[in-house]
Amino acid sequence: MYDNKTWSGRFNEPMSELVKKYTASIDFDQRLALCDIQGSLAHAQMLTESGILTEKDLTDIRQGMEEIIQLINNNQMNWSIDLEDVHMNVEKMLTEKIGDAGKRLHTGRSRNDQVATDIRLWLREETDIIIQLIADFQVALLTLAENHTDTVMPGFTHLQVAQPVSFAHHLLAYVEMFGRDRERFIDARARINRMPLGAAALAGTTYPICRERTAELLQFDDVCQNSLDAVSDRDFAMEFTAAASIMMIHFSRLSEELILWMSPRVGFIDIADRFCTGSSIMPQKKNPDVPELVRGKSGRVIGHLMGLLTLMKSQPLAYNKDNQEDKEPLFDTVDTLINTLRIYTEMMAGIKVKPENMKSAVLQGYATATDLADYLVKKGIPFRDSHEIVARAVRHAEEKSCGLEDLELSVLQSFNSLIEQDVYEILTPEGSLKARNHIGGTAPEQVLRQIMRWRKILG
Ligand code: ARG
C-alpha cells in the first residue's frame, strides 16, 4: 500500500487541514526538486553498486526521474500539499511511473539526510554563481576606476574634508571589500560541500552503503563524519548568510555614498536615468532608487541571518522539524544577493563622474593642510609644532575666504620662514596625491598598480 502519507499506518485519524497546511513545505521547497533528484540518482547508483538495488531498479529509477525532470522543466509537475514536501512529491510521482523500484529508492536513507543533502547541493550551485558575480562586479568597479587615477576628490573622515584622494582609489577600497566577501564565500563553500547522505534518520543505516561513492558521484569534497551532526548541522546556512550580511553591509555603505554623491548639493556623480525614478509630484526630482533599495535590502538579509541563528539556538540533537524553516531565509538571501550583484554591476557602467565638482570640493576644504605640515617636518620642524603652524595658516586663509595655495609666499612665510616657493607644488591636490607613493597609498602610480594586480587576480 502506498498511501498519500508514507507514515499513515501508524495513525488512526487523518491530519487536520490546518495542520497539513501549517506543516507542509512544498510551496517553497519545490525549488529544491532538481537537486533532490540529483541526490536520489546518486543514492540509487550507490545502492546498486553495493548490491542493495538491482540494475533493473536503477534503470527504472533513471527512466522515471528523466520524465519527472521533464515535467519540472515544463512546469507541469502537480505539486501536492497532501504529500507535504518536495521529497515525498517526487518519490510518489516516481512510484506512480515505475512502481516498486520507486518505493525502493528510500532504502538506507531518511528525509533528514536527504533534505540536508539537497540544500547543500543547491547552495553550492548558488554560491558558485555568487562567487562569479562578485568577480564581475569587481571588474565593473575596476573599469570605472581605470579612467580616474588622476581624478581628485576629497577623502573624508567624520564626513569632513580630510585629504585628497583619487576617485579610483576610493573605488578600489570597495574592490578590496568585495574581494574579502568573495574569499568568505569561497571559504563557506568548503564547509557547504560535505555530504550528510548516509546518516539516514540520525544514527546511520544497517545497509552496507558506501557513502564515499555517493559523495564522489555528487562531487562533494567529503562526507559528514558524524551521523547526528550530519542531519542537524545548519552551520553552513548560518555561515553563508553571515557572509551575505557582511557583503550587503558593504553594498549599503557604497549605496549611501552614491546617494550622497548624487545629491545636487554634492554633485560628484550622476547615475544613469535607467537606474533612477522620478517623483509623482515634484517634476524636478531624479531619485537614486536602486542604491536606496539596496541599502534597504541589507536589512532583510541581516534579518535572515538573525532568523537562522535563532532557529538553531537551543535545538537539541538531532533533526527537528524547526529545520524546515531554514529554507525561505536562505532562498531569499540568495535571490537578494544575486539580484543586487547583477543590478549593481550594470549600474556601475552607467555612472557619470563629474571631476570638476570633485576638484572644487577638494579646493574648498583645506585638504592639503597635512601636506603643508609634512613639508615643514621635512625641513626639521617637529610634527606637533608644524601642525600648530599650519592650523594658524588655515585660520588665516579661512578669514580671507581663500585656499592655502592662494596665500602669497610672504604671507605663508609669516607663519614660518622655512616655507619656500616649492610649497605651491605640494599644496595642489595633484601634488598631494603623488606624494603618497607607497603600497596602499593614493598616488596614481600606486593605484594603477593595484588595478593591474586585481585585473590579474580576476582574470
Ligand atoms: N520538509 C522537511 C524539511 O524541510 C524534510 C525533512 C522531514 N523530516 C522529518 N523527519 N519530518 O526539513
For ligand 1, whether the C-beta of 25 sits within 6 Å is: yes
- The residue written with cell numbers 575666504 in the block is 401
DSSP letter (8 states) at residue 365? T
Taken in order 418, 423, 427, 433, the sign of the CA dihedral is negative
Torsion of CA 122, 127, 133, 137, to 10 degrees: 150
* 48 and 142 together in one domain: no
* pLDDT at 4 (0 to 100): 54
How many domains does one find in the chain?
Answer: 3
- Which of 158, 314, 401, 410 is the catalytic position? 158
Helix, strand or coil, per DSSP, at residue 361: helix
Ligand 1 pocket test target in 10, 112, 234, 326 with most atoms within 8 Å of CB: 112
How many CB atoms are closer than 10 A to CB 281?
6
333 and 259 together in one domain: yes
Per-residue pLDDT tens digits for 381-438? 999 999 999 999 999 999 999 999 999 999 999 999 999 999 999 999 999 999 999 9
Which cell is 135 given?
Answer: 568577480
Atom 11, ligand 1: residue with shortest CA distance: 321
Is residue 85 lining ligand 1, measured as CB closer than 6 Å? yes
- Other C-beta atoms within 10 Å of 87: how many? 25
Closest CA to 367 of 144, 166, 173, 147: 166
Q: Output the CA 130–ligand 1 centroid distance in Å.
A: 27
Q: If you take atom 4 of ligand 1, which residue's CA is the nearest one?
A: 324
Closest to 246 measured CA to CA, from 298, 171, 297? 298
Instruction: Dig out the grid coordinates for 367 from the structure.
Output: 585638504
Is the domain of 332 the same as that of 440?
Answer: no
Any catalytic annotation for residue 255?
no
Residues 230 and 367 in one domain: no
**3-state SS, one letter per residue, for 25-45:** CHHHHHHHHHHHHHHHHHHHH
Q: Please indicate whether residue 43, judged by its CB atom, sits closer than 6 Å to ligand 1.
A: no
Q: How far apart are CA 39 and CA 33, in angstroms?
A: 10
CA distance 124 to 114: 15
Tell me the percentage of the chain whose pLDDT exceeds 90. Answer: 93
Residue 324 in contact with ligand 1 by CB distance below 6 A: yes
* Residue 279 bears catalytic tag: yes
DSSP letter assigned to residue 77: -
> Distance from the CA of 112 to the center of ligand 1, in angstroms?
6
Give me the pLDDT at residue 2, please.
Answer: 46
Asked whether residue 243 falls in the same domain as residue 202, the answer is yes
Domain residues for 195? 112-148+164-359
CA distance 133 to 127: 10
User: Would you say the CB of residue 7 lies under 6 angstroms from ligand 1?
Assistant: no
Q: What is the DSSP string of 282-293?
A: -TT--B-HHHHH
Nearest alpha-carbon partner for 338 in 292, 294, 289, 277: 294
How much is the pLDDT for 277?
85
Q: Which of 334, 359, 384 is the last residue of a domain?
A: 359
> What single-letter amino acid sits at 30?
Q
What is residue 1's predicted lDDT score, i.e. its pLDDT? 39
Closest ligand 1 atom to Cα of 327? 4
Q: Are residues 232 and 142 in the same domain?
A: yes
The reported pLDDT for the residue numbered 7 is: 62
Ligand 1 close to Cβ of residue 115 (< 6 A): yes
* Closest-lying ligand 1 atom to the alpha carbon of residue 323: 12
Ranges under pLDDT 50 in the chain:
1-2
- 333 in the same domain as 187: yes
Tell me the residue ranges of DSSP E strands in 37-195.
152-157, 160-166, 194-195
